[in-house]
Chains A and B, each alone.
Chain A
Amino acid sequence: MVLEIVVMVKQVPDSQEVVIDPVTMNLNRSMTRNVTNRADENALEAALQIKDKVPANITIVSMGPPQAETTMIECLARGADRAVLVSDRAFGGADTYPTGLTVASAISKLDHFDIIIAGEESSDSSTGHVGPGVAEFLGIDQITYCSKIEFSDGRVTAERELEDGTEVVQCPTPVLVTMLLGSNFPRMQTLRRKIDATKKGIEVWNLEKLGLQPEWVGVRGSPTIVRRMQSIKERERAKKPVTLEAIPDMVKELYEKNILKVK
C-alpha cells in the first residue's frame, strides 16, 4: 500500500525585504520577492523523510495566485510527486476561514489521503489557524507544533513542543500534523527534478472544479475584516551613554525608579 501524504504550502513575501506602502499601509507586493513559507519547507521535508522509509506519494496543495507556481515547481524539485495549485480570482483576500475551507475542499477532491502536513504558521499572516481549520473541515484528528514525526503501522508518532515541555503522542491516520519552523533541514532541489517538474507541470484547480460558491470563498467568505492598519510608533529612547565608571550611578537610578527592586 502506498501512503498518501498531502503537504499544504503557501507562497509568502520574503520577510527579509517586506516593503510597506506608506500611503495605503498595505504590503507592497510588487516590490517584494515571493518565497515558499519556510515552515512549509519543513513540512515537505518531514513528508520526504517518511517517503525515504515507506512507499509514499506526496501531493502539494496550495491556494494562491498564479505566480505561486514557482513555489510548486520548487516543491516538486525537492521530491514531491504531484502539485495542485488552487487558484481563482474569487479566492483573493481570504482570511483563515475560507482559506481552510478552500484547501480542505481541494484535499477532499483527491482520491485518498492518510497524512496531511502543514507548517506551524505562515510568516505573513502567522495565525497557525489554517492547518487545524482544515482538520476540522475534514473531521480528522491533528497533532500541532511537532519537532519530529514518524510513521509506522498505520500510526503517526510525534513530538509536540509545548511551553512547558515535550509531549509524545501517537495517532492513527488519517491525521493532520503541523511542523515547527526549523524542525529539520530541507533537502536541496535537484536540477534533474526541476527539469522534470517544469515538464510535468502542475495542476491548476479553480472555483468551479472545487464546486464551491463564490460567496463562500475569498474576501466575500471571510468573517473578519481589517478596519485599520497603524504603524506601531517606536518610542524614542534616551540612548543615554554610560561609561564603565558611571555604572554605579545607572544602577542607583534603576533602583530609585523601581525598575530594579530590593527583594
Chain B
Amino acid sequence: MVGLQFAKPVDKPEEYRHVFVYLENGQGRLKRVALEMIGIGRELATKVNEELVGILIGDDISAMAEEAVSYGCDRVLGAQSKDLKDFRTVPYANLVGEFVMSEKPNVFLIPATRNGRDLASRIAVKCQAGVTADCTELDIEKDTRILSARRPTYGESMLAEILCRKHRPQMATARAGIFKVPEKVGGKPSGKIDIKNVKIDKKYLNKKIIEFRKKDRVDLTAADIVVSGGLGLGGPAGFKMLEQLAGEVGGVVGASRPTADLGWISRDHQVGQTGTTVRPKLYVAAGISGKIQHIMGMKGSETIIAINTDPNAEIVKYSDYFINADINKAIPAIIDAVKKYRTELAGGKKTKTPSQ
C-alpha cells in the first residue's frame, strides 16, 4: 500500500528516458489497441530519439511479445504467471508499477479502455505522478521531451492541451480507435524480449473472476462504415433494413440512444456521449435528429450522409450529403444503387478495375 502520499515532482527529469506503452493482452493475442499504442509510441520515441518499450503482463506471453517486437517495439518487458491469465487490478498494477519505477520512463501510455483506465490511475498514484485521461492527440517537444497530451472536453467541443512538467513518468491514457496501427517492420525484428516468470502472492488474488460472458459486441470503433438508425426508423424492423445496407457495403450498424432504450437494438450499437465515439470513413444517419449527445459521438466521421424527412433537423448541418426523404425509400434506393454499381463494374468495364 502506498498510503496517502502527495504527487511528488522529480529532482532530475533528465534521468527519465524512453517511451513506454502498456500492451493490453487479449488472452493470447495483443489487442488491436495495443498495436495502436505501439504506433503512437513509436512516433513519439522517434521524434526524441529514444527507445519504444512495451510492458506486457499475462500468462504465456512470449508469442505476444514477439508480435509487439514485429510491430516496432525496441524492447518488451514481460511478467508471466498462471495467476495472471485474467486481468486483475492489484497484481497487474503491482507488476506494471515495479517495471515503471525501476525503468524510469519519460512517457508512459496506457490505452483508455476499461481495463486500461482501471489500471492507469493506480500506477500514477504508485509513482506519485500525473496522468491525462482519454487523449486523442499526443505529441512531444523535441528539446524538453515534454509530452503534449490533448483531450476533448466540455462535450467534445473543446480540446484541452495538458502538460505535466515536473512529475515522471508523464502518463496518459489514449483513446481506442484514434491512433494508427503501424506497419510491421520489415526483415527480422531486432527488438529485445525480456520475460520473467513471477509468483503472485495469494493476498493479491482476492478478486476472483467467476465467469466471462463473451458478447458478440459490434466493434463500432474498428469499422470503416457505420450505418446508424434513430427513432425515425419507426421500430425494430427498420434496423433489418440498415443491416442489409451495412452487409452490402461492409459496415456495421449503429444506433441513437432512444432506439436502444426501447430495445429495438442492443446497447452496444449506441453511438454518442453515453455510447461509443466513432470516426469512420462513412457515417450514415438515418432518421436521427442530430441532438448534441449523438453528434458528439460521430462528428469526427470523414463523410456523413443524413437521411431525414425534416429539412430543418440538426443533423443536416453535419452532413456532407443530405437526403430529404423517407428512410423506407432512401435506404432501399441506396442498396439498389450499390448493387447496380457493382454489377456494372463486374460486367465488362475492365478499364476501371478498382484497386484494393
Contacts and interface: CB of A to CB of B under 8 A. Distances in A.
A132 B152 contact: no
B93 interface: yes
A132 B161 contact: no
Contacts of B305: 250
A141 B320 contact: no
Interface residues of A, number: 88
A117 interface: no
Contacts of B162: 224-227
A221 B333 CA distance: 60
B178 to A, nearest CB: 14
A12 to B, nearest CB: 12
B6 A244 contact: no
A138 B4 CA distance: 7
Interface string A29-70: 000000000000000000000000000000000000000000
Contact of B320 (A138, A162, A240): A240
A259 B302 contact: yes
B330 A129 contact: no
Most A C-beta atoms less than 10 A away, residue of B118, B213, B334, B345: B118
Contacts of B164: 223-225
Interface stretch (B43-51, B100-108, B109-117): B109-117
B179 interface: no
Nearest to A253: B321
Contact of A168 (B210, B249, B304): B210
Contact of A144 (B118, B125, B165, B215): B118
Interface in B42-70: none
Interface string A233-258: 01001111111100110111011010
Nearest to A231: B158
A165 B207 contact: no
Interface of A: 15, 18, 20, 25, 27, 95-98, 100-101, 104-105, 108, 125-130, 132-133, 135-139, 141-145, 157, 160-172, 175, 181-182, 212-213, 215-217, 221-232, 234, 237-244, 247-248, 250-252, 254-255, 257, 259-263
A141 B159 contact: no
B337 A248 contact: yes
Contact of A165 (B115, B213, B225): B213
Interface of B: 1-7, 9, 89-90, 93, 113-115, 117-122, 124-126, 129-134, 148, 152-167, 176, 206-215, 217, 219, 225, 249-250, 274, 281-282, 299, 302-305, 316-325, 329-330, 333-334, 336-338, 340-342, 345, 354, 356
Given A133-B125, A248-B337, A261-B250, A223 B303 contact: no
Contacts of A20: 154, 157-158
A239 B304 CA distance: 9
A237 B299 CA distance: 11
B159 A230 contact: yes
A130 B121 contact: yes
A141 B90 contact: yes
Contacts of B115: 162
Contacts of B1: 138-139
A169 B210 contact: yes
Given A136-B125, A143-B207, A165-B217, A129 B319 contact: no
A260 B340 contact: no
